[in-house]
Amino acid sequence: MVDDAITDEMIREKICQMFLESTKKSKKEYIGIEIEVPIINLNKEAVDFDIVHRVTESFKNHFNSFEVEGIDYDGNVYALRNRENDDVVCYDCSYNNIEFAMGKEEDLFTINERFSEYYSFIKEEFERHNHTLSGMGINPYRKYNNEIPIPSERYLMLYNHLKSADNYSDSLMYFHDYPGYGMFSSASQVQLDVPYDDLIENINVFSKLEPIKALIFSNSVLLEDNEDYVCFRDNLWEYSTHGINPHNIGMYDIEFDSIQELVSYLESLNIYCVMRDGIYINFPSMPLKDYFNSDSIVGECYCKGSYRNIEFKPSLDDIEYLRAFKFINLTFRGTLEYRSVCTQPIKDSMSVAAFHVGLKNKTNELEKLFFYAPVFHDCYNSTELRKLLIRTEIPSSIDKDELYGLARDVLDLAKDGLKERGLGEEIFLESLYKNVNERTNPGKRILDSLKEGISLEKIIKDYGDL
């Protein structure tokens, strides 16, 4: 043993301290939103990173409340933070993706106003150089891009981990051929403050929502390579090195009865990276308990342009680097993060948060809907149903009238929840009602538009307009 003092009980206590303690505190319930957006070079060439850096500088000069948050090894800024409200504008994984991580607020209109201002400015700056932004979950021009990670500790470590699939040759797992998928796939994530007493019910019920979310939000089409899916993003996560332990990704597949069961689930996760002296180290993904039962671990760290082996001893504080990428994540901030939705057409960006906020206090009503929904009792569990509904064509074995009727009932509940807030936020659900009424989603619209002869350039423009 590396340290006989590190017992299972201590691991459990540390997990509780890091993930659960802040959910017990009485506090206002805020909304946090992250919107990732692909950068597209309209010349059908690789995104010009020099242009990206010039746009970043222009943004910083225009919005003088933003300060530099992250600088890469080449001296380029990859993250800016607003000192007044904690909004962050940064690049995600590579300079092919930009992310708007909006500081917490109590209402969606405030967030939308600031997001729209930032987005409009940056898009206009990019378009001066024949680049643009668009609300598509997979970069439609990804084949032209250079898949180069941001040269920083975190992103070099992450890419090194994702391209290490060959190191698991003894595994029976299938790995896809897109280790750089973080450089061309984009999501829209929501974080909500959920009180401790509501965590289990929220996770259980929102897990059952995942098939409906696939039905109405899917927007990750892998053009030319695999158009059988409108949300190929699920596969990118599941069949990567993040998915070596299925508990680290996707859905929970179980219904929790208690906080203790949730903690046990967190104990079952794999760990693949830590930091020592400000340097990231990644190592073969392994179960958390195996990690703490090891005398030492041999990993890799980036040093002066190459990777070198490094040996280190596990520490209980390494739980800080325990990373799960579930569709619903309990975070160190004491929030629940809902992360299964693709980036939406930009004008509909607030629909994702509106959906979750509206349903947050409707778990009892949702549970009743699911209990009486035939589609949840006809041989499929929630995971199986989502896997079917991320495909371009819904199987004929599923009654589409019942399915879309359930989706409409869910939206009605979300609308009621938003109306009870009294802020008028239900307006942000209009695009979702349209999806249900037309029995489509943004991904299907892309494929249908292309079949109708509408150019990809026109789709990019339409999905990028506010």
Q: What is the pLDDT of residues 184-229, one digit of tens each?
A: 999 999 999 999 999 999 999 999 999 999 999 999 999 999 999 9
pLDDT (tens digit per residue) in 40-67: 999 999 999 999 999 999 999 999 999 9
- In CATH, the architecture of 8-464 is 2-Layer Sandwich (3.30)
pLDDT band at 3 (very low <50, low <70, confident <90, very high): very low
Predicted confidence at residue 373, as pLDDT, reads: 84
Amino acid at 259: I
- Say which residue the tokens 């629940």 belong to: 336
pLDDT band at 375 (very low <50, low <70, confident <90, very high): confident
* CA-based nearest residue to 361, from 141, 205, 179: 205
Give the integer Cα–Cα distance in Å for 268 and 288. 7
pLDDT band at 377 (very low <50, low <70, confident <90, very high): low
Q: What is the DSSP string of 308-346?
A: EEEEE---GGGGGG---EESEEE-TTSEEEE--PBPPPG
Predicted confidence at residue 113, as pLDDT, reads: 98
Are the CB atoms for 273 and 323 separated by under 8 Å? yes
327 contact partners, CB below 8 Å, separation of at least 6: 207, 210, 250, 251, 338, 339, 340
Percent of the chain whose predicted confidence (pLDDT) is above 70: 99
Predicted confidence at residue 4, as pLDDT, reads: 62
pLDDT band at 75 (very low <50, low <70, confident <90, very high): very high
What's the pTM?
0.96
Per-residue pLDDT averaged across 76-96, rounded? 98
**191 Rama sector, left if φ>0, alpha if ψ -120 to 50, beta otherwise:** beta
Name the average pLDDT for the chain: 95
Predicted confidence at residue 430, as pLDDT, reads: 98
Query: Per-residue pLDDT for 378 more than 70?
Result: no
Between 75-84, 94-103, 210-219, 329-338, the lowest mean confidence (pLDDT) is in 329-338
pLDDT (tens digit per residue) in 396-416: 989 999 999 999 999 999 999
pLDDT (tens digit per residue) in 326-352: 999 999 888 999 999 999 999 999 999
* CA-based nearest residue to 318, from 284, 292, 336: 292
Query: Per-residue pLDDT for 118 more than 80?
Result: yes
